[in-house]
Structure 1
C-alpha cells in the first residue's frame, strides 16, 4: 500500500483538519416553522427534491441491538404522514432484528447541498400487511425478485452465488412476484424532530420539536 505520508503537501490528517467551508445558503427561525414537524419535514423534502439533490429521501437509520451496540446504515423513506416515517426491509436483516430487540430508532436526512439536516427520533412499529403488499406491488420486478434471492445481512460465499439465487427466483415467478413473508415495513413515530440549517462562523440554526402530552413544543437550540 502506498505511504500517504510520503505524498506532497500536508499529511492526510492535517488535510482533514483543514477541510471546512462556510454555510450561507439559508436561515431558520423557530417562529416561522410549521407547528407540525411532519409538515415541516415534508416541505424540506420538497425543497430538496426541487433542488435536484441525489436521493433526497435517503436517511441514515440508527438502531441498537439487544446488547446495546449501535449500528447505522442508509435506507430510503417510502412514506410520510401523520403516523410517521415509513421504510421497508427484510425481517431477517440486521436492522429488523435490532428493531425487534429494541423498537426505537433515529433517522438523519443529510442534505449537504442545501446546508440542511433533519434528525428524527422515536419508537418503531411494523406497518400493517396491506400497506406492505401495496408498496411491494409498486416496486420494479427486478427489486421484487431480489427480495426473494437475498437473505439480507447474512454472509454469502461470492457474487456468483447471489446471482444464481436471483436467477432461480427470477425463473420461479411470472410477471407477478408475490410478497415474501420476510418482507416488512417499519414506521418511526416522531417524538423528537430537529431541524438544522448551516450558518456562517458555525453559529448554526437549530430548531427542535418535542412531543408532549399537550402537543409539540418548539424550541431553539444552541449550535
Structure 2
C-alpha cells in the first residue's frame, strides 16, 4: 500500500542518489577544467601509456604530472594497471567516467596499412586485425616479436562466436613483414616494451592465453572491439 511516508522515503532516496550523481559530474568537470589534464585525457582516447611516456609526450615535469594524474584518478577519468611485461611499469588508461568521444572524433591522420603486434602473434593481434578489417578500409595485418607456432584455438573459437573472419595463417615475425609507412599498434605490454615504444599507439590488453577460458578471450575481444571502433573513424586511408 502506497502511503505518504513511503513516498517521502522514496523521494529522499532519489534526492540522495541525484546529489551523488551531481557531485560526481562536478568532480569530472572540475578535473577537466585545466589544459594539461585535458591533454592527458585526449592522449588516452587513442591509446594507453605509462606516466613517463605521457610526461615525455606533453613535456610535463614528473612532480606536476603526478599531481594532474592524482586529480584525474580521483575523478575516475584515468585508471592504471600493472604491466604484464615489466611489472615495475604501470599503464594509464581512460577510466569509467571518461567520455571516449571527448575529442569530438577529430581525424588523426592517414595510413596505408595498420600492423597489430603482440609478442606471440597467436591471439590478441589476430583478433585486432580482423576487427579492424571489418571496421575500416585501411589494410591490416598482425605480427609478433616472438611468433608462436599457430593461432591459439581460444582466439579461433572467440572469432567464431562473434562471426569474425580470421585467416588461417601462421604467426609471423614483425621484422619479416614490416615496411615503411606502416602504422604499428602494440596490443600487449611485452611487445610494446620490447619495441622500446616505437609503435604508434599502445593498447594494454590483458592476455587471455594464460587463463585459456572463454570469458578471458571474450574480455580481450570486447576490449579490442571497443578500441577499434573508437580509432577506425579517426584514421583516413592514405592515397
TM interval, short-chain normalised: under 0.3
Bigger helix fraction: 2
Which has the larger share of strand? 1
Q: Scaled by the length of structure 1, what TM-score is found? A: 0.22
